Structure 1
Amino acid sequence: MKQAWNGWLLALQLFTTIPIRRSIEWNAAHVRWLVRCMPLAGALIGALSAGVYALFSSFSFSSPLVWALLLLWLGIWMAGGMHADGFMDVSDAFFSYRDVKRRQEIMSDSRVGAFAVLSLICLLSFRWLFLYESLQTGVPPALFAAVPLLSRAGAVWLLSAGKLAKPTGMASALREYSSWRDAAWALGLTCLVLLLLPAAGVPLAVVAVLAAVMALCSLAAKPWAEKQFGGVSGDVLGAFIEGGETVLWGVIWLLHSSAMG
């Protein structure tokens, strides 16, 4: 139990901006639980966003236009901007149209290129649009927890199943001590949380569709990452999380727009 708790705290330290004032050893047992808890860390970020949204809704404060912008940036800030940085690095590398080796070098470069900026603006613009349209239809606040939960569950599967792009970096450090069993744990914990969503007002059909879409995205991302970048890296995982969240909010918008129509 202590190892599980330390792994959970390590996940919060690494993947969120929640202040955890404790030194936790980076060892096999803790890293295994860190990987298992990655989706739960995402769910916690989403739960905080859901609380803010529910509070605003109850007091009829401001408008969906403002809520969408605030909730968009709250999620990125709570993740420390780590995944957005990965998305920018991957965008710079992908749009360079170079070979795999050169793309890996570009992702390792700390400089930010024009394609990175333009891609992030495009991504966040679409996510803001999906959020805004979804909020206008009155989506259940629990969906804010479901989206980052599923995106990180997909990232854990990708980490476990994909070939590593390089022997160093975040993905390599996580894979060194984890295996498919830890991914199975993460997916199992994700399913348990998903089963609670209908009690929070999210229709079971919506939960099933979101889970299916994320599963398809994960399956498609593996061969794409291996072809374009030689495999999975920390940047690829971050890009997958950011892109996955945008896709899921697009699906939520389509589902609720169809229901309202």
Structure 2
Amino acid sequence: MNRQLGTGFLLALQFFSVIPVKKQLPMEKFHLTLMFAMLPVLGLLFGSVMAASVWLLRETTDVSSLLIGFAVVVIGIALSGGLHLDGLADTADAYFSYQDREKRLEIMGDPRIGAFGTMVLLLAIVGKIIIAAESIHAASLVLVLVIPVLSRIGLMALFSSTSSAKPNGLAAFFQQRTDQRILRLTAMVFMVILLAAVISIANVWVAFVLLVMLLVSLWLYRAWCLKNFGGVTGDLFGAYVEGVEILLWTSLLFFV
């Protein structure tokens, strides 16, 4: 079983990070299900690198919190290869085109970035840097680590509970080859474990705020995807990760 979990994690690295895994891996239904189940573990890896970077900059330099926030955001982008930001830009171009559903999906599939995608991309990056800088000033390193994990738990829940907008898209390809029931159960288990850890290290209030923010944003975003696109796509998944991480950083700023 450990070998199978390792294969799932390596697949997650191949598809959702820039960490090179130069190995031909099996892609049967069981392995792809494990790949998505390993997303929170991948988030834990990313969060650990970010938290370690914050600690190193805090303890060994006199740089400002703004520079630390910049470093955290850049590290996150570098580790994911900008995958989620690409989805955010494509989603913005499609949504703000104000076209019908079919045209929006067509625009989303265009590899070029438009004016709206560029504007949303810049606002998201700059906004995330500022919000992270302000939050890091007061937040513990544990919460810096937790945010990438929570966003990927939400991604797994969104993936396993929402139908694909396109029958031949990447989201449909993976949904047809994964066990959605197992992924929903796995998302709940990871959520319980993570919140228990937050309660033990921080307090119940912090865990409550993070849980509410994640669940409400997941429900609203899922409804928005169904209304405007008829389901989810790979780009919408990327936009979700970026959006929910900004929301969680903001919640640390105002409620923790």
Same fold (TM over 0.5): yes
Contact kept in structure 2, 1:39 and 1:152, CA below 8 Å: yes
Aligned to 2:238: 238
Partner of residue 259, structure 1: none
Alpha-carbon separation, structure 1, partners of 2:24 and 2:190? 25
Q: Deviations for 1:204-231, whole angstroms, at most 9, x for unmatched residues?
A: 3212211221111111111110111121
**Distance in 2 between residues matched to 1:26 and 1:148, nearest whole Å:** 25
Task: Read off the aligned partner of 2:91 and give its amino acid letter.
Answer: V
| Preserved contact between residue 91 and residue 239 of structure 2 (Cα < 8 Å) | yes
Measure the CA separation in 2 of the matches of 1:190 and 1:76. Answer: 24
Letter in 1 for 2:110: D
- Which residue pairs with 2:149 in the alignment? 149
1:6 corresponds in structure 2 to: 7
Contact 2:84/2:238 (8 A) holds in 1? yes
Q: Separation in 2 of the partners of 1:108 and 1:5?
A: 32
- 1:20 shift after superposition: 2.3
What's the offset of the Cα at 1:50?
A: 0.4
For 1:121, the equivalent position in structure 2 comes to: 122
Equivalences for residues 197-216 of structure 1 within 5 A: 197-199=198-200, 201-216=201-216
> CA RMSD of the aligned region, Å?
1.4
Name the aligned partner's letter for residue 100 of structure 1.
R
| TM-score, length of structure 2 as denominator length | 0.94
Counterpart amino acid of residue 163 in structure 2 = K
Aligned-partner Cα distance in 2 for 1:180–1:10: 20
Q: Give the partner amino acid of 1:88.
A: A
1:70 CA drift (Å)? 1.0
> How is 1:105-254 mapped onto 2 (pairs within 5 angstroms)?
105-137=106-138, 139-178=139-178, 179-199=180-200, 201-254=201-254
Deviates more, 1:115-124 or 1:52-61: 52-61
Aligned residue identity for 1:209: V
In structure 2, distance between residues paired with 1:186 and 1:170? 21
Aligned to 2:73: 72
Q: What amino acid maps onto 1:255 in structure 2?
A: F
Query: 1:214/1:185 Cα in 2 relative to 1: closer, same or farther (>3 Å)?
Result: same
3-state SS of paired residue (1:177): coil
Distance 1:193 1:23 in 2: 32
What is the SS of the residue equivalent to 1:23? coil
TM-score normalized with structure 1 length: 0.92
Counterpart Cα distance in 1 of 2:241 and 2:185: 18
The CA deviation at 1:198 is 4.3
Cα distance in 2 for partners of 1:61, 1:174 equals 46
**What do the CA deviations read for 1:45-65 (whole angstroms, capped 9, x no partner)?**
111100111111122441111
Check the 8 A contact 1:166/1:233 in 2, yes or no: yes
Equivalent residue letter for 2:220: A
Q: Residues of 2 paired with 1:213 and 1:96: CA distance?
A: 28
Moved more, 14-23 or 153-162: 14-23
- Identical amino acids, percent of aligned pairs: 31
Do 2:171 and 2:232's aligned partners in 1 also have CA atoms closer than 8 Å?
yes
Q: Distance in 1 between matches of 2:106 and 2:86?
A: 15
2:43 is matched with: 42
Is the alpha carbon distance of 1:22 and 1:193 closer, same or farther for their aligned partners in structure 2, counting shifts above 3 Å? farther
Q: CA deviation at 1:148?
A: 1.2
Count of residues paired in the alignment: 254
What residue identity is the alignment partner of 1:143?
Answer: L
- Show structure 2 runs of 5+ residues with no match: none
- Cα separation, 2, equivalents of 1:44 and 1:83: 17
Tell me the amino acid that sits aligned with residue 3 of structure 1.
Q
Q: Distance in 2 between matches of 1:77 and 1:212?
A: 29
Are residues 51 and 156 of structure 1, via their aligned partners in 2, closer, same or farther at CA, if it must alter by over 3 Å? same
Shift of residue 117, structure 1, vs aligned partner:
0.6
Change (3 A) 1:60 1:207: farther
